[in-house]
Amino acid sequence: MEVTATNPNEETNVWGGGNKPLNASYGKMMMWFFIVSDALTFTGFLVAYGFSRFKNIDSWPIADEVFTHFPFLHGVDAPMYYVALMTFILIFSSVTMVLAVDAGHHMNKAKVTFYMLLTIIGGAIFVGSQAWEWKNFIKGEYGALETRGGQILQFVDANTGKRVALEAFAADIATDRTTHENSNGIWFKSESTLPTYSVAEVQAGFAANENLVIKSEKIEAEGKKIILSREASLDKIQNAVAVVEGANLIHNEYGNRLFADFFFFITGFHGFHVFSGVVINIIIFFNVVIGTYEKRGHYEMVEKVGLYWHFVDLVWVFVFTFSIWFKFKKTH
């Protein structure tokens, strides 16, 4: 019969950090605490987005009409194609990170270096692509009018149903209107850059082109935006008070301004995480190259940064699925 001796100092050793909870190191546990807390933050953003979208379900912009650009393919309508490619690249970088961690477990420095490099390249491409999407979203492509009630009026060809840019029909009316600046007078505040066209120029050009009609921001039961008749369009355009080009936190040519607010906030916050991950991966990569972890006898740092990288990849899957791609159906 075996007798188990009890060490009176065992409790002291536990509180002194001698044991590893869940057989995980202190660094891994702290990374998990960070991931859980950050997950709660992103959850709050997505829940707020969901409530706002559901409340404004009849005027929420359609993602397929917003994210239609693809690099080097000007004028080609590619709804969500590049966003899907960005998602694939980020998921692929998560796979290469798994391979880097596995190589670290086998103490294979060459493979860790190779897969870490692929992960960095994938993350850098994603961050650059996100910045490119931001540029297109802010700049806009077609332009629109905004009414007194804040509704967005887009212009389409009555025959084809395709959107028409303001530059294609806006009239040229001579004007000496200039941007107010503080130096222009003591009674005026400075203002943002003036739009390319005035409301009067757009209204005159619209009236002269009988093949143009207005697409409102309201969405019908089938999930498509309502296109007004020519007569209704001529009446609706009289309520316009501003020209909107692109999107920012105040105006949005694609529809409800809350869409732009959440787009900038959620994708910007996630983009910051990806950018930080790329920077951390570069630091870890150089430590791998100079043999720091080889000397330590383990690649735990690669595993810890891998947890963070998988987290930002998973967050983007949720953002892409629920915020961009998933479409709520309007029910009656």
Whole-angstrom Cα distance, residue 40 to residue 51? Answer: 16
Furthest-apart CA atoms within the chain: distance in Å: 105
The sheet carrying 152-157 orders its strands as: 225-227, 212-219, 152-157, 144-147, 240-244
144 membership: H or E segment, kind and range: strand 144-147
Report the SS3 class of residue 84.
helix
In 198-311, DSSP assigns E strands to 212-219, 225-227, 240-244
Other Cβ atoms within 10 Å of 142 Cβ, number: 18
What CATH number was assigned to the domain covering residues 49-140+258-325? 1.20.120.80
Euclidean distance between the first and the last CA atom of the chain, given in angstroms as a whole number: 76
The pair phi, psi for residue 180, each rounded to 5°, is -70, 130
pLDDT given for residue 4 in this prediction: 46
Which residue in 274, 303, 307 sits closest to 288, CA to CA? 303
Map out the domains of the chain as residue ranges: 49-140+258-325, 144-242
pLDDT at 178: 59
pTM of the model: 0.81
pLDDT at 11: 47
How far is Cα 201 from Cα 128, in angstroms, rounded to an integer?
Answer: 37
**What pLDDT does 329 receive?**
47
**C-alpha span between 61 and 255 (Å, rounded):** 5
Backbone angles phi, psi at 238, to 5 degrees: -70, -15
Long-range CB contacts (within 8 A, 24+) of 256-261 = 256/56, 256/59, 256/60, 256/61, 256/152, 256/217, 257/150, 258/52, 258/56, 259/60, 259/61, 260/137
Q: What integer pLDDT is reported at residue 332 of this predicted model? A: 41
Q: Give the model's pLDDT for residue 185.
A: 54
**Calpha distance 64→110 (Å, rounded):** 43
pLDDT of residue 330: 46
- pLDDT value of residue 273: 95
Residues of the chain with pLDDT below 70 are: 1-24, 174-192, 323-332
CB atoms within 10 A of CB 172: 9
